[in-house]
């Protein structure tokens, strides 16, 4: 998926890891999974792991959930790691997710990582959106 940006002879594309790895560690502004390190927030979807831009749970918008909605048929539970503390989802997001058949559960990022790993091991239809923490 090319976003059209050019850097000399190279085309920059959004980070994407195909597959559904568990998260090995989190903190210091990023995550470790599949013997790799990623700095910043993450989307863990059925199609793979992607970079996610939000850094402040207070600033989440419906647009931040578009990628999850595109894969709604493969997601039953969406865990939203809102940083160090639990923060509610934006008011306009819950009904949209519910209409798509997705149960969204906001929680701290640490709790979301642990819950994601357990549900993934149980082969559940889980996805996660994780805001990085320091």
pLDDT, tens digit (0-9, with 9 covering 90-100), for 100-118: 999 999 999 999 999 999 9
Residues 76 and 24: their CA atoms lie apart, in Å, by 23
- Do residues 22 and 119 touch, judged by C-beta distance below 8 A? no
pLDDT at 17: 77
Q: What percent of the chain has pLDDT over 70?
A: 88
pLDDT digits (tens, 9 = 90+) for 64-81: 999 999 999 999 999 999
pLDDT at 19: 86
Q: Where are the domains of the chain?
A: 15-130
Instruction: Please tell me the class of the 15-130 domain.
Output: alpha beta
Phi-psi region of 112 (alpha: psi -120 to 50; beta: other; left: phi over 0): alpha
pLDDT digits (tens, 9 = 90+) for 8-61: 565 444 666 788 999 999 999 999 999 999 999 999 999 999 999 999 999 999
- Do residues 58 and 86 touch, judged by C-beta distance below 8 A? no
| Pairing outcome for strands 10-12 and 126-130 | unpaired
Q: What is the pTM of this model?
A: 0.87
Residues 93 and 3: their CA atoms lie apart, in Å, by 25
Mean pLDDT (the chain) is 90
């Amino acid at each position: 998926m090319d976003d059209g940006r050019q850097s000399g002879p190279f085309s920059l594309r959004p980070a994407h890891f195909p597959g559904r790895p568990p998260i090995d560690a989190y903190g210091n502004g990023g995550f470790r999974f599949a013997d790799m390190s990623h700095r910043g927030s993450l989307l863990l979807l059925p199609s793979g792991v992607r970079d996610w831009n939000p850094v402040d749970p207070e600033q989440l918008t419906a647009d931040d959930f578009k990628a999850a909605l595109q894969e709604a048929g493969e997601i039953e539970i969406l865990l939203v790691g809102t940083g160090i503390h639990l923060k509610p989802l934006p008011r306009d997001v819950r009904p949209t997710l519910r209409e798509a058949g997705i149960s969204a559960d906001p929680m701290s990022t640490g709790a979301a990582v642990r819950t994601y790993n357990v549900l993934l091991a149980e082969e559940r239809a889980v996805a996660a959106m994780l805001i990085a923490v320091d």
